[in-house]
Amino acid sequence: MLKKKSSLKDSNALPRHVAIIMDGNGRWARRRLMPRTMGHRAGMAALKRVVKACDELKIPILTVYAFSTENWKRPENEVQYLMKLLVEFLHKELTELHENQVRINIIGDYTVLNQQCRDEIEQALLTTRENQGLIFNIALNYGSRTEITDAVKKLAAKIAKGEMAPTDITENSVAELLYTAGLPDPDLLIRTAGEMRLSNFLLWQLAYTEIWVTDCLWPDFSRDDLFGAIAEYQQRDRRFGALSTLEEGSEGV
Q: What is the number of domains present in the chain?
A: 1
Strand partners for 17: 61
Mean of the pLDDT values across residues 211-230? 97
* Residue 194 domain flag: yes
CB of 42 within 8 A of CB of 28? yes
With a cut of 80, say whether residue 231 has pLDDT above it. Answer: yes
* Residue 33 domain flag: yes
Averaged pLDDT score across all residues of the chain: 93
Distance CA 102, CA 93 (A): 11
pLDDT attached to residue 12: 72
* Residue 127 domain flag: yes
DSSP string, the chain: ----GGGS--GGGS-SEEEEE---HHHHHHHTT--HHHHHHHHHHHHHHHHHHHHHHT-SEEEEEEEEGGGGGS-HHHHHHHHHHHHHHHHHHHHHHHHTT-EEEEES-GGGS-HHHHHHHHHHHHHHTT--S-EEEEEEEE-HHHHHHHHHHHHHHHHHTTSS-GGG--HHHHHTTSTTTTSPPPSEEEE-TT----TTSSTTTTTT-EEEE-SS-GGG--HHHHHHHHHHHTTS---TTS--HHHHHHTT-
Whole-number percent of the chain with pLDDT over 70 = 91
Mean of the pLDDT values across residues 217-237? 95
pLDDT attached to residue 238: 80
* Residue 7 domain flag: no
**pLDDT tier for residue 248 given thresholds of 50, 70 and 90:** low
Q: Write the CB contacts of 55 (distance below 8 Å, at least 6 apart in sequence).
A: 100, 102, 133, 134
| Rg for the chain, CA atoms, rounded | 19
**pLDDT tier for residue 243 given thresholds of 50, 70 and 90:** low
pLDDT attached to residue 253: 41
Strand partners for 189: 19, 211
Distance CA 230, CA 227 (A): 5
Read off the pLDDT of residues 75-120 as tens digits, 9 standing for 90 and up: 999 999 999 999 999 999 999 999 999 999 999 999 999 999 999 9
**pLDDT tier for residue 10 given thresholds of 50, 70 and 90:** confident
| CB-CB neighbours of 7 under 10 Å | 14
* Residue 97 domain flag: yes
CB of 203 within 8 A of CB of 143? no
Read off the pLDDT of residues 132-157 as tens digits, 9 standing for 90 and up: 999 999 999 999 999 999 999 999 99
With a cut of 80, say whether residue 22 has pLDDT above it. Answer: yes
* Residue 157 domain flag: no
Range of the domain at 84: 13-143+186-232
CATH of the domain at 62: 3.40.1180.10
* Residue 169 domain flag: no
- Best CA proximity match to 191, nearest among 202, 178, 204: 202
Distance CA 183, CA 107 (A): 12
Residues in the chain: 253
pLDDT attached to residue 8: 85
What are the residue numbers of the active site?
Answer: 23, 71
With a cut of 70, say whether residue 1 has pLDDT above it. Answer: no
With a cut of 90, say whether residue 250 has pLDDT above it. Answer: no
* Residue 4 domain flag: no
